Amino acid sequence: MPSAAETRNTFVTRALEQISHQCGSQKKWSQVKASSLYVLKYLKDPSNQQASPGTVLSLSFVPLRLAVESKACKIIEIALGCLQKLMEYSCIPGDMKWSPPKLDGTESWMKAVKERHDKLKSNNPDDESNLLISQIVTTISDVSSNFTHDGVQLQMIKALLTSVSSPGCDIHGSTLKMAVRNTYNIYILATNVTNQTTAKASLKHMVNIVFQRMESVKQVVSPTFVSSTPPGTPVRIGNSSIASTSGIALTNRSLSESSQVVVEDDLWLKEMVKVIVDKALVEVSAEEAQTDEDILNQDEDPTLDSKKESFDFNRALAERLATAAKKQPVGTAPVPVLAQRGSSKNVLHNVDDAHVADKLSFPSRFHKDAYLLFWSFCKLSDKQVPDTAQEDSIELKSKMLSLELLYNLLSKSGPTFQSSENFIRVVKRNLCLSLLQNCVSPVTSVFKISLHIFLALIQNFKEHLKREIGVFFTNVFFVILESSNSSTSQKMLVIHVIFKICDTPQTLVDIFVNYDCDLESINIFEVIVNNLSRILKARSSSNSIELLKQEQDMRLHALRALVTILRSIVLWTEKFDEAATPQVKSSTDAAEDEPSPFQATEVGDQLTTEEDDDEVEKALAFKKEMRELMSLFKKNPKKGMELFWANKVVEKDAKKTAQFFRETPGLSKIAIGEYLGVIKPFNQEVLAHFVESFDFANLEIDEAVRLFLGAFKINGEASVIDNTMEKFAEMFTKANQQAFPNASTAYVLSFSIIMLHTDAHSAHIKDKMTKEEFMRNNKGIDEGKSLPEQMLSDIYDRVTSTPFMLQGGDKEDELEPANKKDKKKTGVMVNLVDVFSSDDKKRAANYVAESRAMLQKTKELIVSKNDDRSNHFFHASKLGSVKPMFERGWEAMLPAFSVLLEQCGSDQQPIIDLCLEGFKRGVHISCLFFLDVQRDAFVSALSKLTFLNNYREIEHKNIKSIRVLIDIATTEGNRLRSSWYAVLRCISQLEKLQLLGAGAKPDFAFLEVEKTNAGHKVSRDEKSRMKQLEVLNSMTVANQIDEVAISRIYSSTAELSSEAIVYFVKHLCEVSMEEIEHSSPPRMFSLQKIIEIADINMGRIRFVWGQLWEHITKHFCRIGTNENLSVSMFGIDSLRQLATKFLEKRELANYNFQRDFLKPFEQIFQGTNSIIIKELIVRCITQMVHGKSPQIKSGWKAICTVLSLAAGDQTEQIIVLAYDVVGHIMDNIFGLVVAADAFIDAVNTLTAFACNQLCKSIASQAINQLTQCADYLVNGLVIEGTEPEEQKKIFIIPQTETVCSSDQRALKVWFPVLTGLSSDATQHPDVEIRLLALNGLFDVLKKHGGLFSTAMWKIILSGAVFPIFDNALCDVTPPACSASSDSEAKKKLTHHQRWTHLHS
């Protein structure tokens, strides 16, 4: 294997031979040729083979440097190519010292070299210029200053790139910056597009390498970092190969490979350049081909579409980095950059940054290299560019390149970059100010790349830039959106930035938590939503197709951003487990002790939603309350402070009130001044403590006045100013006892400073005070002496140059934008008519003026210092943080979606899809957090947009709305609650249209509909139009809506939760009633679905079923008593079907579900006057008794009640029909009734029939059956079975029990029988019936009276026998005694009824 020396000599020999050949006999290149031949002779001399590498390289560098300085294109290219290969193959180690070669000859070229070496040699051994690699980079850089040949520039780019990327070179400090600077200059000054794109790509490559080396310092021992590449294997960096190594010096390639490379030198160079150029040209083509709309639709800036480089550092580089990091002293200053000689077009000026880096400490020189590059790019990006600059101007190209490099660094920044205090300081002090200036630039390309840099800052540095981010939103982005002077492209780019921010859930929630929940910050999230919503709702009256297209594009992007907010909220909720859903509340979590509602925690550290909601919402409520109190304080300081005290925001104490004024952000400084200016004891005490809270030590008096007056706006009255400044002078003199002999001098001078400030900065004063006048005014104020003139001169200069500014508070006054009139005209968002119809040139000029005023004020906010508390950034990590977000934004979102969806055409598919997605996600979030108002609003608005409930043509967008509504019903059914009403109402209308579209007869076609003249009269033409529209809509719906999806909603109700099914049935009943009462003719679709739902859900637990049946019962009662007999009959028949199915279910003992289920029959019978309905109910009861008697248990009680009501009816037909059922029961299945514990109910039914006055025969039969019941009480009765062996005899009163007065069971069953006969004997108008009942009563008493005890007889006589005689006595009483006798009879009757009620 060839040695490193052989490889090195091969490259040098090849290059020098070509150089000497190119020189020929030209005299001007004689020194180049002579030096080349001298070195060739030296290298070929065998005696020099043992010379040190440093000696050989230093000597070989002499002719190469002369060749580079020859100004001959071909010679320069050969020399640069040789240097590049020496660096690529690590033949020139980075730590190799440069020692001037010893030249003993007297030739002219030797003398020139000696003189040059003496000038360049540094006496400082640590100077970077003493390194050979530094001399090489300097030589290459000299070419860029004096030569613009395309081929030379391309070769220079290659050499400079290799010097940075080769691990063996290891350049740092000024040498590294020189390489970067010259590549930068080539891009700026090159006229060839290929060279420009190559330089740009190479520059990005260099910078990426520098920063990746910095990031790799901590990872040098990492297994993933140390390469396992064997020695001598080329390592890929970009598109060039660099040999791997196992030590400090890289192992050379094999001799054959080296020779091959030398032979194919030109081919290799062309291939390498071609790859870089092709890549760069692809980037340029992409830039030129993409429009603003393309840029807005992609994830990253198209102008920065450079694929992130992946560097495979080998083991040698890892060891080298580790060794260098240990050897490099912390904070070592780089050598000052060599001045560019002979360059009048140098763009990247040598900024004096050495003193900046010297004062900082760095972990390694790699960190320092990265810092210097980043700092330089920030300064370059801050250079002013004329508004009229052309795209190819040097200034604009320089700014754009620096911004692109910054974006490249920030978007790919690693953990070291993101956490380093040095870099963060540069970002805050330099980059933010530069970005602020560029974000208001009228140049679109600058504005666009600046916005992408801002996105990178938010993504990677938001923890350190809380205040700066808030300032950018408030004073840049919102102003651009709200200004009528900003261009359409600027607004769209800002919307794109908002879209990208909202597309990251973590960033979006962090913004809400850190700004909308922070008392000191503006509600950024809320303002974003409001601005986007206003853009969507704004109307434009322009007739220009181009302007309308711009407006449509802007709305589309605003809509996309608004929907993205909801999408991110949904994605945020999906990060959490079901254990953190709103239904769950953990007492252990609630007891956790958290010092702050927004304490920074890991993302996985979850808290219950209830607790988290409390934390966020408490912060929001506190902010809202404080803002209201501050607003009142601003209007009326006295009342405002009283409310502050009343709400216990601050105690009513002078010292604490003064502290409140000093420390509370957002308080109006004007109002504070008004309060402190009141001449009252308490106010003056507050003023004294207020002044004492300032620290004026070691401040000049004008600086102290500036600090003092920055905390409040002093009242304009002379007496107030005098009193305030007296206290100020006292405190200032106390803090600075050496400044003035007494407070009087400080008082007079401070008063004079205020007068000077007013004079200098008031627009109403034209004749300004001069410095001489100021000094003359303050002559002799120091106890007759004059203050030092220099002091007064400095005070004058500082006061007149910078006005006093209020620090915080009254931001709406300090930062009032230039378009104040526009804001007053439209509130916050200007009308889009102004944006799209105003003159472009005039609008651009106004925007420039507006941005300049805004820029100055915003810079002051960024530069100003705030306390650490206001800059603390919280990382949101809990589910409930998004609930208040949605609550703050939904009111603006919903109208935007509704208006835009209603106004857009069916051909605007993207808008339709986005609006519907907004509705769907809004409903999902509302359901997730059980926000009833929000959910109902979204669902109701969506249901209206289906056009199912009005006579309007249904278009494609309405069809999609219907599908979304159906999808919501399917996916969110468990949490729709009251929103089911709107959904089911739409489905009802949908079914109607589907039936018409399919040509089937609707349900009401089978009903007998009574025609009425009531209601709104519609003209014949209107009826015809509505009919045609209904037919058209029915065809549309039938073809595009799947009936299976609708049926699935009802069939899947068994899967709904217990709570959800109750809501579903409740609102289904409401929709059914609406179909019946408000449709002409009435419809039965929902009623049929109620039967279906009831049947499907009969298997639910009894508690849930009871809740369902409660709603269904009320509904059937209203239907059964409807005036329309067809509707009532349909409802009763439906109820019968349900009852029949329900009776098939076995009922457990001691339950009354059947009784409750059959109760609607009783209520309908009581509530209707229709004979037909009553007859239908009786027939339904008859059918159940004949068909389901073995399954009936507690239902017998309800059946007996219905039959009792029928017995008291005034229609003989009903009585006869009902008694047929009673006869069947008594004759065939009375044992089942007794077994179901319904004996007393049956007795009461017989009593009712015995008392009826229309059918004498039925009354007689009922009396006989009552006496038979007495026999059943004594002898028992047989329950008939299907088989003889199944027959069994039961006893109502167990035979083991003795009948006595204390036997409540005996009293309970005997008393109804006896009192029934007694009441019939006394109250029936027919004598024969009374006699029959009386005989029956005494026969029972005679036959079974022996079973009764004395106490039992007393009760029977009192309740059943004596009332007969009382009634008879009343019949024979004279008229004079009729009143009192009637009263006694009533008392007896009441007593009888009380007993009946007691034992029923």
* Local confidence band at 144 (pLDDT 50, 70, 90 cut-offs): low
β-strand partners of 782: 785
Q: Which two tokens stand for residue 471?
A: 């300032």
Helix, strand, coil percentages for the chain (3-state, nearest 5): 70, 0, 30
910 vs 904: CA distance, rounded Å:
10
452 vs 409: CA distance, rounded Å:
12
Strands 234-237, 1288-1290: parallel, antiparallel or unpaired by DSSP?
unpaired
- Higher pLDDT among residues 114 and 990, named by residue: 990
965-984 average pLDDT score = 94
Q: What is the pLDDT of residues 1167-1189, one digit of tens each?
A: 999 999 999 999 999 999 998 88
Q: Which two tokens stand for residue 998?
A: 């399919």
- Higher pLDDT among residues 1296 and 1277, named by residue: 1277
506-513 average pLDDT score = 92
Residue type for position 3: S
Residue type for position 1378: S
1076 vs 1086: CA distance, rounded Å:
9
Strands 234-237, 240-243: parallel, antiparallel or unpaired by DSSP?
antiparallel
Q: What is the pLDDT of residues 1105-1130, one digit of tens each?
A: 889 999 999 999 999 999 889 999 99
- Higher pLDDT among residues 902 and 850, named by residue: 902
- Higher pLDDT among residues 585 and 617, named by residue: 617
480: enclosing H helix or E strand: helix 478-482
Q: Alpha carbon of 634 to those of 637, 639, 640, 673, 815: distances in Å?
A: 6, 10, 8, 10, 17
Most confident listed range (28-32, 125-129, 1380-1384): 28-32
Residue type for position 934: Q
Residue type for position 263: V
Predicted confidence at residue 256, as pLDDT, reads 35
β-strand partners of 131: 97
371-396 average pLDDT score = 87
DSSP 8-state assignment for residue 237: E
Most confident listed range (261-265, 390-394, 1025-1029, 1173-1177): 1173-1177
**How many CA within 13 A on the CB side of residue 318?**
19
**Average pLDDT score over the chain:** 77
Give yes or no for residue 153 having a pLDDT over 80. yes
Residues of 1066-1095 as b/e, b for ≥16 C-beta within 10 angstroms?
Answer: bbbbbbbbbbbeeeebbbbbbbbbbbebbe
- Is-contact 566 887, C-beta < 8 A? no
- Is-contact 1164 1121, C-beta < 8 A? yes
Q: Which residue from 902, 917, 929 is spatially nearest to 964, judged by alpha carbons?
A: 917
Give yes or no for residue 77 having a pLDDT over 80. yes
Give yes or no for residue 1018 having a pLDDT over 70. no
1300 CB neighbour count, 10 Å cutoff = 14
746-750 average pLDDT score = 89
Q: Which residue from 1312, 1198, 1174, 1196 is spatially nearest to 1248, judged by alpha carbons?
A: 1312
- Higher pLDDT among residues 259 and 1263, named by residue: 1263
* Local confidence band at 789 (pLDDT 50, 70, 90 cut-offs): confident
Predicted confidence at residue 1306, as pLDDT, reads 73
Q: Calculate what percentage of the chain has a pLDDT beyond 70.
A: 74
626 vs 667: CA distance, rounded Å:
10
* Local confidence band at 663 (pLDDT 50, 70, 90 cut-offs): confident
**How many CA within 13 A on the CB side of residue 421?**
4
66 CB neighbour count, 10 Å cutoff = 24
Predicted confidence at residue 533, as pLDDT, reads 94
- Is-contact 78 1, C-beta < 8 A? no
Predicted confidence at residue 1176, as pLDDT, reads 94
Q: Which two tokens stand for residue 778?
A: 């303050």
* Local confidence band at 124 (pLDDT 50, 70, 90 cut-offs): low
What values do phi and psi take at 1084, rounded to 5? Answer: -120, 15
Give the lowest-confidence range in 282-291, 451-460, 864-873. Answer: 282-291
666-684 average pLDDT score = 87
Give yes or no for residue 1013 having a pLDDT over 70. no
Please report where in the chains the tokens 């905390």 appear, as a residue. Answer: 711
Burial zone of 1128 (CB within 10 Å; 0-12 exposed, 13-18 middle, 19+ buried) = buried
- Higher pLDDT among residues 279 and 747, named by residue: 747
Q: Which residues contact 441 (CB under 8 A, 6 or more apart)?
A: 385, 447, 450
Tell me whether the omega of the peptide bond preceding residue 1081 falls within 30 degrees of 0, making it cis. yes
Rg for the chain, CA atoms, rounded: 49
* Local confidence band at 647 (pLDDT 50, 70, 90 cut-offs): confident
- Is-contact 1122 1131, C-beta < 8 A? yes
592 vs 588: CA distance, rounded Å:
7
- Is-contact 141 180, C-beta < 8 A? no
1054 vs 1098: CA distance, rounded Å:
9
User: What is the DSSP code string of 371-420?
Assistant: HHHHHHHHHHHTS---TT--TT-HHHHHHHHHHHHHHHHHHT--HHHHH-
- Is-contact 1245 1204, C-beta < 8 A? yes
Give yes or no for residue 126 having a pLDDT over 90. no
900 vs 887: CA distance, rounded Å:
21
- Is-contact 1322 1250, C-beta < 8 A? no
Give yes or no for residue 23 having a pLDDT over 70. yes
Q: Which residues contact 816 (CB under 8 A, 6 or more apart)?
A: none
Predicted confidence at residue 307, as pLDDT, reads 35
Furthest-apart CA pair in the chain: how many Å?
Answer: 171
CA 810 remoteness from chain centre: 29
232 vs 631: CA distance, rounded Å:
74
Torsion of CA 1042, 1048, 1051, 1056, to 10 degrees: -150
Predicted confidence at residue 863, as pLDDT, reads 63
Give the lowest-confidence range in 29-33, 432-436, 1024-1028. Answer: 1024-1028
* Local confidence band at 168 (pLDDT 50, 70, 90 cut-offs): confident
1304 vs 1301: CA distance, rounded Å:
7
Predicted confidence at residue 1377, as pLDDT, reads 42
Burial zone of 504 (CB within 10 Å; 0-12 exposed, 13-18 middle, 19+ buried) = middle
- Is-contact 75 22, C-beta < 8 A? yes
1278: enclosing H helix or E strand: strand 1277-1279
1266 CB neighbour count, 10 Å cutoff = 25
* Local confidence band at 441 (pLDDT 50, 70, 90 cut-offs): confident
β-strand partners of 236: 241
Residue type for position 724: T
452-459 average pLDDT score = 94
- Higher pLDDT among residues 1033 and 302, named by residue: 1033
Torsion of CA 443, 444, 448, 451, to 10 degrees: 60
Predicted confidence at residue 5, as pLDDT, reads 82
DSSP 8-state assignment for residue 299: S
Predicted confidence at residue 766, as pLDDT, reads 82
* Local confidence band at 107 (pLDDT 50, 70, 90 cut-offs): low
- Is-contact 217 416, C-beta < 8 A? yes
* Local confidence band at 356 (pLDDT 50, 70, 90 cut-offs): low
Give yes or no for residue 559 having a pLDDT over 90. yes
- Is-contact 185 397, C-beta < 8 A? no
Give the lowest-confidence range in 474-478, 527-531, 1002-1006. Answer: 1002-1006
Q: What is the pLDDT of residues 922-974, one digit of tens each?
A: 999 999 999 999 999 999 999 999 998 877 889 999 999 999 999 999 999 99
Q: Alpha carbon of 180 to those of 140, 173, 504, 790: distances in Å?
A: 12, 11, 35, 47
- Higher pLDDT among residues 1215 and 1001, named by residue: 1215
Torsion of CA 1045, 1049, 1054, 1059, to 10 degrees: 150
Inter-residue long-range contacts of 740-745, CB under 8 Å, 24+ positions, other chains counted? 740/782, 741/782, 741/783, 742/783, 744/783, 745/781, 745/782, 745/783, 745/787
257 vs 263: CA distance, rounded Å:
10
1289: enclosing H helix or E strand: strand 1288-1290
* Local confidence band at 442 (pLDDT 50, 70, 90 cut-offs): confident
Q: Which residue from 91, 77, 444, 466 is spatially nearest to 287, judged by alpha carbons?
A: 444
Angle between helix 1102-1120 and 1153-1167 (nearest 10): 10
Q: What is the pLDDT of residues 602-618, one digit of tens each?
A: 333 333 333 345 677 77
β-strand partners of 237: 240
Give yes or no for residue 793 having a pLDDT over 70. yes
- Is-contact 1246 1255, C-beta < 8 A? no
Predicted confidence at residue 861, as pLDDT, reads 63
Give yes or no for residue 150 having a pLDDT over 50. yes
CA 1046 remoteness from chain centre: 32
Please report where in the chains the tokens 């001044």 appear, as a residue. Answer: 673
| 3-state DSSP assignment of residue 1229 | helix
- Is-contact 451 406, C-beta < 8 A? no
* Local confidence band at 854 (pLDDT 50, 70, 90 cut-offs): low
